[in-house]
Structure 1
């Protein structure tokens, strides 16, 4: 789910702390865990899930513990964002980390696989019933570095389109009374918005456009720019590859939504959620994790994939994943338990999907219990079309790239920057990030 964005200073400070941790060696350590007890194997798990995600994760952990009385599970929830990654990196640098932890997949390149993380034993995973073919190929591939599997994806959490079913029905936009009629281009979607505005007299769509440390504008740009087939960085993340024509096409369109009164102006993250939740708009562009908010308030709504407005049907996303933080002398019963824990969690992700995330473990997507989840299962096909950040150390959830580019593209939405000026500034900021040495010194 969305968490309060850390300040730019805190993110960069966190990276600096990790860099220092890489030189401190065994001086950095993980948290102490209680003794496992006679005949029980100790298994420590760190994660950063709060809010609705935290509730669903705890439900899964309780079920795991009940099914594995021989495992002494010590699960710890740490503060989301830079504080979490700083602590996890320091624990890995000291070689005294927990047996397993959560990590955003797009942050893997900046987490020094081979130094701060240990690779999975894919044979142990296979013995527990989890194999590479159980995942979308691209998502599984992003967890690999130099032929070793360092991350096993738990889910993908993409941008989606929420829609108010009552408003859309009045505007004649629904098929069979439930599903939103498709729009195949930016012009077609603009026409849909105009039709809704004619019905309601109000701006028909809401999304995050401003606020302290805003990242929503980056997510919007990334979604629609990815649909054009454009890229941000080269495959090795060493040079900028932005296509100006494609980028300006997206930025000009986003600006037009504001200029034409089709989007609510100057909304921070909570303002966007609240505006849609109060029934003031027909649509909301946001991450799927807000599904719990709207189910709680019994809003008449549903969800669907963001339509393919600029070519392909891709959408900005990241993935929660499991990793093995570096331990000196990793192995034995605790390491085997870590692998079996990951497999068990993946095989029980119907519970996790209740919070909106699309399970990365493909067999879950065919389970009747998952298909019965509405509207969570309505956009499940997006798992094959997610646009992850480029593999750079400064990218991924809660990263400096999100904050830097979110601030720049916010100006396009609020009117303080022109699309062309914002694009030039975005390139300048990206180049500064590229010129900044990787705090970890690259993959060990």
Structure 2
């Protein structure tokens, strides 16, 4: 009897062992910096992926956005303790290349993921590649600032067309006229955005610079040639609006949002990521007016809007197995095919089949401002640019004070030019 039990136990152990092997999961370690609504949506996508893939399990970790995230990545990859996949801002790509923290993405990798470069908007693929065209990350979205606006207040004015979209704002003078009208009609801060920090000010400044065809960096030179004058024009435009009381004094990010939702601003230039905020307030009946969002109007020579992309990147790990890399690529391909859920966060998916779908066409206001994907002005390709970079510091320390009258536009541009050039030399 004892022998029978022993044989039964051995057989059971063998079956369990074979079963465990047959159903062994590849555990993919995932790092991201996604909080708030972005974080909720990404977690839902991860949960859905895990439910559909018994052979792959994503184990996700969310780290602090900005410099802490990228410092952690750099340190972890250097000692071979990085994740298997991570989210990455494409504006940080030049610095990532210098730090050698990313693994190149080959054509074979794309085939494994079931995607191709042609599936993505050209601007995002360009931002995800080296100067010679080597793909280093796979874009997931294009996120930009948009013009959130109070439709109710603009109803019946010349600045709203028959479809309820912004119109007749095709110059700085026209925008100033509309903001002045709003000021005279009870809006204390007609155009709100984050005026106290480098993030909001940089996005506004870079949009105005890019609409002039201006560049921060040209062949390694900061504000070369007439780019200096274009930078001065962009700074002076914001300073003029501030001196006329058309934008708020020293508004924090949260204050900029509150000025719009509290009907103190008729326009709010902020990221697409705030679309869910105003949608939620509309559905809850707490906003108090009809809201919509368009691409930032072309007020200067050409259409252009500051933009960045969240992308998926594979850390540079020579020890990564083929099995793990294939699992990671499976994750990336699946996420692209399910990126309509990500669009719910306001972002424009970088994956064109999603944007070209009937489901996306019905998603508003996203479908209306999707045109900005063709006019996306990504940060300069430089180690001094991108999220939490020296350029953001220079904007915070020089351009923001100039906008608020503590420094002339010319002095701010000159000091920024000297400061950034010194970092490149």
Given the two structures, how large is their TM-score scaled by the length of structure 1? 0.85
Residue 101 (structure 2) aligned to one of 102, 116, 122 = 116
**Distance of 1:284 and 1:223 partners within structure 2:** 14
Cα distance, 1:98 vs structure 2: 1.7
Residue 368 (structure 2) aligned to one of 378, 382, 388 = 378
Residue 252 (structure 1) aligned to one of 236, 245, 259 = 236
RMSD, aligned CA:
2.1
- Checking the alignment, whether the CA contact within 8 Å between 1:36 and 1:42 is kept in structure 2 is no
What secondary structure does 1:117 align onto? coil
CA deviations on 1:145-186 (whole Å, 9 max, x unpaired) are 354321111111111111011111154532225212242111
1:397 counterpart residue number = 387
- Checking the alignment, whether the CA contact within 8 Å between 1:171 and 1:195 is kept in structure 2 is no
- Checking the alignment, whether the CA contact within 8 Å between 1:227 and 1:314 is kept in structure 2 is yes
What secondary structure does 1:144 align onto? coil
- What is the aligned length? 398
Alignment of 1:263 with 2:253, yes or no, is: no
1:205 counterpart residue number = 191
- Checking the alignment, whether the CA contact within 8 Å between 1:155 and 1:321 is kept in structure 2 is yes
Alignment of 1:358 with 2:341, yes or no, is: no
**Distance of 2:42 and 2:314 partners within structure 1:** 18
1:157 counterpart residue number = 143
**Distance of 2:232 and 2:384 partners within structure 1:** 24
Residue 241 (structure 1) aligned to one of 202, 211, 224 = 224
Given the two structures, how large is their TM-score scaled by the length of structure 2? 0.88
**Distance of 1:156 and 1:79 partners within structure 2:** 21
1:101 counterpart residue number = 86
Residues 147 and 312 of structure 1: CA distance in aligned 2, closer, same or farther (over 3 Å): closer
CA deviations on 1:73-123 (whole Å, 9 max, x unpaired) are 211111111111111112221234222111100101101368321112322
- Checking the alignment, whether the CA contact within 8 Å between 2:102 and 2:314 is kept in structure 1 is yes
Residue 262 (structure 2) aligned to one of 278, 295, 305 = 278
- Checking the alignment, whether the CA contact within 8 Å between 1:170 and 1:199 is kept in structure 2 is no
Give every structure 1 segment of 4 or more consecutive aligned residues whose post-TM-superposition deviation is greater than 4 Å.
35-38
2:280 counterpart residue number = 296
2:410 counterpart residue number = 420
- Checking the alignment, whether the CA contact within 8 Å between 2:205 and 2:234 is kept in structure 1 is yes
Alignment of 1:45 with 2:30, yes or no, is: yes
Cα distance, 1:239 vs structure 2: 4.8
Residues 204 and 322 of structure 1: CA distance in aligned 2, closer, same or farther (over 3 Å): same
Residues 311 and 36 of structure 1: CA distance in aligned 2, closer, same or farther (over 3 Å): farther
2:39 counterpart residue number = 54
**Distance of 1:282 and 1:82 partners within structure 2:** 33
Structure 1: 5+ residue runs without aligned partners?
1-34, 436-444
Residue 175 (structure 2) aligned to one of 160, 178, 189 = 189
Structure 2: 5+ residue runs without aligned partners?
1-19
